[in-house]
Amino acid sequence: MKTSDGKAARSRYWLLAPIILLYGTLAVLPLTLIVTHAFEDGLDHFRTIASSVLFWPIVGNTVVISLCTTAAAVSLGYILAAAMWCSRPPLRRVLLAVTLLPFWSGVLVKNFAWSALLQDNGVINGLLQTLALRSAPLPLLHNRFAVVVGMVHYVLPYAVFPIFATMLGIDGTLTRAAESLGATRSVVLFQIVGPLTLPGVYAAALLVLIMAGGFFITPVLLGGPQNMMVANLVNYYANELVDFGSAAALAVTISIGVAVLMLLYHRIPKEGQYGRA
Amino acid sequence: MIPSRVREQAAGPKGADDAAHRPKAGRHLELLGVSKSYGSGRLVVRDVSFTLHPGKFLTLLGPSGSGKTTTLMMVAGFETPTAGHVRVNGADVAGLPPNRRNFGVVFQGYGLFPHMSVLQNVEFPLRMRRLSQDKRRDLAMAMLDKVGLEGFSGRRPAQLSGGQQQRVALARALVFEPDALLLDEPLGALDKKLRDTLQAEIKALQARVGISILYVTHDQDEAMMMSDEIAIMNDGQVIQMGAPADIYLHPRTAFVAGFLGETNLIPCVHCGSDGKIASVKFTDGTFGSGLEMRHDRERGEGKAGLLSIRPEAFEFLTGMATAPNQIDGRVSDYTFLGRHERYVVAALGQNVIVSQPGQGRPRVRIGDAVRLTWAGEKGQLLSRQT
Amino acid sequence: MGEPSPPARGGREAVAAPGRSGPSTSALLLLLSLPILGFLLLPSLIIVPMSLTKGNVIRFPPIWISTHAFWDFLGDDRWIASTLTSLKVGAFSVVLASVAGATAAVGLHRAGFAGKSVVLALIMMPLATPVIVLALADYIFFLRVGLVGTWVGIGLAHSVIVTPYVFVATQVSLATLNPAQVRSARSLGATNVALLRFVYWPTLRPGILAGIIFAFAISLDEVVIALFLQGPNATTLPVQMFTSLEYDPTPKVAAVACLLLAVALLASLAQLGLSARAGSR
């Protein structure tokens, strides 16, 4: 303990009592309960869910949707981050502000807007018909496409920031050094700067992947019945089948998956994969 | 030595008009009337001219903001002069972007690529010049050998110490046999001992490789130690240029006298001259002498000036001895600094700094009345304006 | 080349973009970003016109123009009830979270003990845990203690999720606290309580406030946990919207969305103002 006054040191730790109480009763306890439920019959519950006819298709759907979302969000996020990085500070602040705006509207508002945009008599179809590009509406809603669009829209700001942060950390002297050694602009971009942004890209990808895997509302509102994701399955077990054991087992499985991804995330040194020269 | 066909392949980046820039021994770098101003009209570099002769070491020395780095950047091609020319062997390089100028640049912070190994860093310029993998490797390894980093080729820059990174930067800048090496305060971030070692190493490297070096620093010891010629810059202009000893012993302005080493500037009035040595009169009526000013038009009887006398030029007059140059004063401070001792003598209404070889016991005590003398040639008469 | 940059003086040049790419690359990137930014903003933009439709169906283009959706919302008991529930839940969770988060931040301030990083990670855990797992856990636990279907239950569950935000916001404020202040106060005889009141609290205020605003917004918007813990008397606004969207979509939903957007904008402005003040102290 680095505090010099012993009494002060002890009393300072009283300050941690509220949070310990809060987390203890409302996080640790319930989570332990879940683990207990999941393993109450050994691995039976896990076997139940694994053999369920819904499980593998839903897991597959979750993986596919998460990967598509990640790919799209990271690509678009890279462009935004690069645009911000290449702008002078005034413009950069504007771009940042606009990117941050969606943070403040909730997932429901967003999904609602997307369903309005994508539905058969929604904005996009209306626009297409007005422009006489199509006569029949495109099925844009209640399918995988809509779910991915909704998810990308939600996670995009989260993808931008790790990439942007990494870009900011790149030493400005490097581009001059490369040029003085004979590098053309494309060499500078693709061989010097580009590789140095990769750690940010990996970080963004993992972050988005972790988020995407846990989505609940978006698949329900924007997807069809065949687009259920794992979170929906937990709800199904808990509220429709009232099988808490299986629901708990699924929840534990999801947690393990996320934990593995998080471990991967922490193994990426976020700033300068190669250290600072 | 390196076979000539490899030399040719190690030539500057492609382009027929680059023929003039193929590396050969004996290439002059000239700056003629170079100026640089930014939007506000403020001149950051003013009418700078100098020539870097082949194989020579020229240092731009000056305080922060003197324009020395900007000048270097104009040579390298990262800044464009608003007036004047930069010429390599007579050919103006104005149209050439930095990646076609064939200079080796070492930046502050070195600019090593963190995602590449030491070897890949050093090979980089050779890769830009389309050398084959084998030739690249051979040349790079040879260069690493030369800077004493054989065995480090596989490491990443982050795994190296500051001094080692410095050497990799040097190796990388030299490996493609550039026309000249441009160094922008490369030793600033290192501690004194390391700086001293690397200064010697850079100098030795230059001797071995025979390359011209344009060096920028604000550290006058460094400049004196390494340079064949020093250009002292202040406020965007070159104030004085010459060999270190020349500038040190014959500063042309009070600024130069004070910037390079330490000096005492004693107000006086010019009252006679024999062409080489000038006689001056001090504020208390006593007389002294010093070297006449260089510029003829600044000479003038009755003109006020400053007599610059370096602390080590003084001697204490003991006993009954007298001398033609003599200043009376009282010792007000004494410090022992190892190699030399430093006295502060209150005389002529100012603090005169006197330096003597250290002997541990002060020659005079604080409070003593003393008489200082100096040889006429060791003083330099300077005009009052800097 | 690029725009001229001032000469480097000692230290590194902080040149990022201009050296990296000419103006053409920046222009290209900007051009590519515009549609992406449009994509980000578009949904929020269409909500407002949609809420002003005359009809009773959510459609675009809306039948201009009427504010009946807003009045319908205000007159609908269920919607008002859910709004009140959300406010109660939000306030409750924020109170709990700020007590827990702020005290923890103060308690851990400048504490150096082995495992501090583990403690910090544990505090931030709710951010990393998938919401569905927490929702299920709370549901099963609250079933046992009879808290399902109560706004108190939802509030308790929310408080865990939002505590990390208040914690971090408080930490940021604490970083501006001058340790010399604490030491001099102590040397002048201040007790711990006095210390908290006169030294810590003024510095923390803006940071905690910013954290509270953020936490409240999150609780207001949270849907999964509220869904699991809902009851006839404990339906939060998002849950009401969710149910409505699934079974009975009327322009009221658009009106609510519109109002929520407005609140969110106000909150973000307020928080910007507070963070600016907290950081500049």
Cross-chain CB nearest to C7 (options B70, B98, B109): B70
Beta-carbon contacts of C45 under 8 Å, excluding residues fewer than 6 positions away, are none
What's the rounded Cα separation, in Å, for the pair B239 and B254?
11
Decide if B65 and C9 are in contact by the 8 Å CB cutoff.
Answer: yes
Domain ranges of chain A: 1-38, 45-266
Decide if B105 and A276 are in contact by the 8 Å CB cutoff.
Answer: no
What's the rounded Cα separation, in Å, for the pair B80 and B92?
12
Strands B83-88 and B304-309: unpaired
Amino acid found at B352: V
Spatial CA neighbour of C245 closest among C257, C255, C253, C234: C253
The CA-CA-CA angle for residues C240, C245, C246, to 5°, reads 100
Decide if B173 and A272 are in contact by the 8 Å CB cutoff.
Answer: no
Q: How confident is the model at residue A178 (pLDDT cuts 50, 70, 90)?
A: very high
Asked whether residue C81 carries a pLDDT value surpassing 60, the answer given is yes
Per-residue pLDDT of C135-153, as tens digits, reads 999 999 999 999 899 999 9
Q: How confident is the model at residue B3 (pLDDT cuts 50, 70, 90)?
A: very low
Q: How confident is the model at residue C71 (pLDDT cuts 50, 70, 90)?
A: confident
Q: How confident is the model at residue B142 (pLDDT cuts 50, 70, 90)?
A: very high
Spatial CA neighbour of B258 closest among B106, B110, B163, B382: B382
In a domain, C24, yes or no: no
In a domain, C71, yes or no: no
CATH number at residue C262: 1.10.3720.10
In a domain, C267, yes or no: yes
Find tokens 């020229």 and name the residue: B58
What are the distances in angstroms from CA A37 to CA C156, C164, C255? 22, 27, 42
Among A42-46, A159-163, B338-342, which range has the highest average pLDDT? A159-163
* Sheet of B91-92, strand order: B43-52, B29-37, B83-88, B91-92
Q: How far is B342 from chain C (nearest CA, A)?
A: 30
Give me the residues of A, 159-218, that contact C with CB < 8 A.
167-168, 170-173, 175-176, 179, 185, 188-189, 193, 210, 213-214, 216-217
Burial C83-105 (b: 16+ CB within 10 A, else e): bebbbbbbebbbebbbbbbbbbb
Percent helix / strand / coil, chain A, rounded to 5: 75, 0, 25
Is B97 in contact with B78 (CB distance < 8 Å)? no
Decide if C10 and B64 are in contact by the 8 Å CB cutoff.
Answer: yes
Q: How confident is the model at residue C2 (pLDDT cuts 50, 70, 90)?
A: very low
Give the percent of chain A with pLDDT over 90: 40
Is C245 in contact with A112 (CB distance < 8 Å)? yes
Return the CATH architecture of domain A45-266.
Orthogonal Bundle (1.10)
What's the rounded Cα separation, in Å, for the pair B203 and B170?
12
* Between C255 and A66, residue with greater pLDDT: A66
Per-residue pLDDT of B67-85, as tens digits, reads 999 999 999 999 999 999 9
Spatial CA neighbour of B78 closest among C15, A14, A18, A241: C15
- Interface check B324 vs C, CB under 8 A: no
Asked whether residue A277 carries a pLDDT value surpassing 90, the answer given is no
User: In the predicted model, what is the mean pLDDT of chain C?
Assistant: 81
- Interface check B125 vs A, CB under 8 A: yes
Kindly report the length of chain C.
Answer: 281
Residue B349, Ramachandran bin (φ over 0: left; ψ between -120 and 50: alpha; else beta): left
Asked whether residue C13 carries a pLDDT value surpassing 60, the answer given is no
B-chain residue closest to C8, CA distance: B69
Cross-chain CB nearest to A180 (options B98, B113, B158): B98
Spatial CA neighbour of B79 closest among B93, B61, B65: B93
Asked whether residue C274 carries a pLDDT value surpassing 70, the answer given is no
Q: How confident is the model at residue B298 (pLDDT cuts 50, 70, 90)?
A: low
Decide if B188 and C10 are in contact by the 8 Å CB cutoff.
Answer: yes
Spatial CA neighbour of C275 closest among C206, C223, C219, C190: C206
Burial B369-380 (b: 16+ CB within 10 A, else e): ebbbbbeeebbb
What per-residue confidence (pLDDT) applies to C37? Answer: 92
What's the rounded Cα separation, in Å, for the pair C106 and A15?
7
B-chain residue closest to A198, CA distance: B115
Cross-chain CB nearest to A18 (options C40, C47, C103): C103
Decide if B108 and C6 are in contact by the 8 Å CB cutoff.
Answer: no
Q: How far is B66 from chain C (nearest CA, A)?
A: 10
User: In the predicted model, what is the mean pLDDT of chain B?
Assistant: 86
User: Can you read off the two tokens belonging to residue A133?
Assistant: 């590009």
Cross-chain CB nearest to B103 (options A180, A273, A274): A180
Cross-chain CB nearest to A117 (options C37, C40, C43): C43
User: In the predicted model, what is the mean pLDDT of chain A?
Assistant: 86
* Overall domain count for chain C: 1
What's the rounded Cα separation, in Å, for the pair C271 and A228?
36
* Between C274 and C215, residue with greater pLDDT: C215
Cα Dmax for chain A: 79
Q: What's the distance, Cα to Cα, between the start and end of chain A in Å?
A: 34
User: Can you read off the two tokens belonging to residue A258?
Assistant: 């996320």
Cis amide bond preceding C65, omega within 30? yes
Domain that holds residue C162: 84-280
A-chain residue closest to B124, CA distance: A181
What per-residue confidence (pLDDT) applies to B169? Answer: 94
Provide the number of CB pairs (under 8 Å) joining chain B to chain C: 31
Q: How confident is the model at residue B16 (pLDDT cuts 50, 70, 90)?
A: very low
* C176 backbone dihedrals φ, ψ, rounded to 5°: -90, 0
**Mean per-residue pLDDT, B224-241:** 93
Q: How far is C175 from chain B (nearest CA, A)?
A: 29
Instruction: Write out chain C residues lying below 8 Å of B184, CB-based.
Output: 8
Cross-chain CB nearest to B109 (options C4, C12, C19): C12
Amino acid found at B73: M
What's the rounded Cα separation, in Å, for the pair A71 and A78?
11
What's the rounded Cα separation, in Å, for the pair B69 and B81?
13
Give the percent of chain C with pLDDT over 90: 28
Per-residue pLDDT of C158-210, as tens digits, reads 999 999 999 998 888 888 887 888 888 888 887 877 877 888 888 888 888 88
Cross-chain CB nearest to A183 (options B115, B128, B157): B128
In a domain, C214, yes or no: yes
Per-residue pLDDT of B256-268, as tens digits, reads 998 888 899 999 9
Q: Where are the alpha helices (DSSP H) in B337-383?
A: none
Amino acid found at A140: L
Q: How confident is the model at residue A94 (pLDDT cuts 50, 70, 90)?
A: confident
Decide if A244 and C25 are in contact by the 8 Å CB cutoff.
Answer: no
What's the rounded Cα separation, in Å, for the pair A269 and A202?
10
The CA-CA-CA angle for residues C265, C270, C272, to 5°, reads 95
Q: How confident is the model at residue B21 (pLDDT cuts 50, 70, 90)?
A: very low
What per-residue confidence (pLDDT) applies to B386? Answer: 52
Per-residue pLDDT of C238-250, as tens digits, reads 999 898 887 777 7
Instruction: Write out chain A residues lying below 8 Å of C111, CB-based.
Output: 1-3, 12
Is B265 in contact with B308 (CB distance < 8 Å)? yes
Instruction: Write out chain B residues lying below 8 Å of C7, CB-based.
Output: 44, 65, 67, 69-70, 73
Is B179 in contact with B29 (CB distance < 8 Å)? yes
Is A98 in contact with C41 (CB distance < 8 Å)? yes
The CA-CA-CA angle for residues C229, C230, C231, to 5°, reads 125
What's the rounded Cα separation, in Å, for the pair A92 and C166?
28
Amino acid found at B45: V
User: Can you read off the two tokens belonging to residue B138?
Assistant: 């051979």
What per-residue confidence (pLDDT) applies to B317? Answer: 86
Q: How confident is the model at residue A263 (pLDDT cuts 50, 70, 90)?
A: confident
User: Can you read off the two tokens belonging to residue C212?
Assistant: 């509270």
Spatial CA neighbour of A81 closest among A153, A168, A148: A168
* Between A72 and B3, residue with greater pLDDT: A72
Asked whether residue B138 carries a pLDDT value surpassing 90, the answer given is yes
Q: Specify which residues B342 forms β-bridges with.
A: B335, B355
* ipTM higher than threshold 0.90: no
Instruction: Write out chain C residues lying below 8 Å of B77, CB-based.
Output: 1
